[in-house]
Amino acid sequence: MRLKSKLPDVGLTIFSVMSKLALEHNAINLAQGFPDFNTDTHLLDAVSKAMLEGQNQYAPMPGLPELNILIAKKLYMDYGWMPNPETEITITAGGTQAIYSIIGTMVEEGDEVIVIEPSYDCYIPSVVSFGGVVKTYQLQPPAYKVDWDAVEAMITDRTKVIITNTPHNPCGVLLDDSDLKRLEEIVTRHQLYLISDEVYEHIIFDGHVHQSVLRFPALYKRSFVVFSFGKSLHVTGWKTGYVIAPPELTVELRKNHQYNVFSVNRPMQHGIAYYMQHHADFHALAAFYQQKRDFWLKLVEDLPLKFLPCFGSYFIIADYSDVSDLDDLAFAKKLTMEGGVATIPMSPFYQKGSDAKILRFCFAKKEETLIEAAERLRTYFK
């Protein structure tokens, strides 16, 4: 008997490909989205203390009660609404596992899912693996603004879910209040469900405000909202996040979640809970990363790359069409091997590729890393 692949067109992710190439050529890795600096020592100490005190066995499946209570209070402070810690919050092994479990909960064979592209790479394979049919709406550079009338025109009687992402990876754009109001109309009118990926909620710039689904009660009633401690605490390798959803949706999500990972590492949950009580300042992230964005843009202002506006996330994209006719994957590889700086091409964020000649740079790095990367690029483009 031969195994039939559920994902015959899927290989290594572009993040794995470019990170491997960076390692092989001793390139600075501005490709994969992770900080190259450590987190607050208070958080590390809190996790270590939890381990030494024996907090090393299974956590409750939905998450530690004390952590869920603190999350509920945080969300109330941020968005003016408090979920029930017992029935609306589920701790997950990062945002990707959360999204996979949500899609597994919602999508049946033949269900249509609208994905707004460019999109984070786990969305489409997850839908396909559960037998769903992907319908893509493509954002257009340089504004990458959603035409909601066009999105609504895609809906059929088989459409079940829309997936959104704000602040957006890879484009760095935001959904504003008018976007969420229009989305709320569409979801409620057509009785759809929404998966809202909001893992960069606090990394938002220039005085903008994150418009979470949690601010829109009618929309929230049909939504799963995904958040990430990995992004907000500079610990992407801890793979710890959470999902907020109405009780009836949370019940169904947990049925999948309990057989996917069952529960998330206990000492990290204890450490994060302690840190949230005594040290965390999530709202400092905006200024912290805006400074890095602005520092990077100052370093590269004389390069022949056109950097597009970035209002959130820790990624910024650049148009390289003035310097090369190569497609984005070929140019990204060339820049890694010959220029010593690894980036991510934009085309893998589209189901059928793209030829807009745009690369994504991660600026969540130490200043010395960014300085060295800029110097290498300057040398390469001479």
Distance CA 212, CA 330 (A): 37
Take residue 56 and report the two structure tokens written for it.
């090393």
Q: Which residues of the chain have pLDDT under 70?
A: none
Spell 369-379 as b/e; 16+ CB within 10 A means b. bbebbbebbee
* Phi/psi at 352 (5° precision): -110, 20
Residue holding tokens 């990062």? 94
Distance CA 166, CA 161 (A): 17
Query: Is the backbone peptide bond immediately before 217 cis, with ω within 30 degrees of 0?
Result: no
pTM given for the model:
0.96
* Top CATH class, 41-278: alpha beta
Q: List the one residue out of 60, 92, 128, 58 whose CA is nearest residue 260.
A: 92
For 325, other C-beta atoms within 10 Å of its C-beta total 9
Distance CA 118, CA 248 (A): 31
Take residue 162 and report the two structure tokens written for it.
């829309």
pLDDT for 2 equals 81
pLDDT for 354 equals 82
User: Parallel, antiparallel, or unpaired for β 193-197 and 223-228?
Assistant: parallel
DSSP H/E element including 184: helix 177-190
pLDDT for 11 equals 80
pLDDT for 180 equals 98
pLDDT for 4 equals 85
Answer whether 14-39+283-380 and 41-278 agree in fold: no
pLDDT for 76 equals 98
Strand, helix or coil for residue 376: helix
pLDDT for 8 equals 85
> Taking the domains of the chain in order of start, what are their residue ranges?
14-39+283-380, 41-278
Residue holding tokens 């899609």? 103
The fold of the 14-39+283-380 domain, in CATH, is Aspartate Aminotransferase, domain 1 (3.90.1150)
38 burial type by CB count under 10 A (0-12 exposed, 13-18 middle, 19+ buried): exposed
Distance CA 7, CA 13 (A): 13
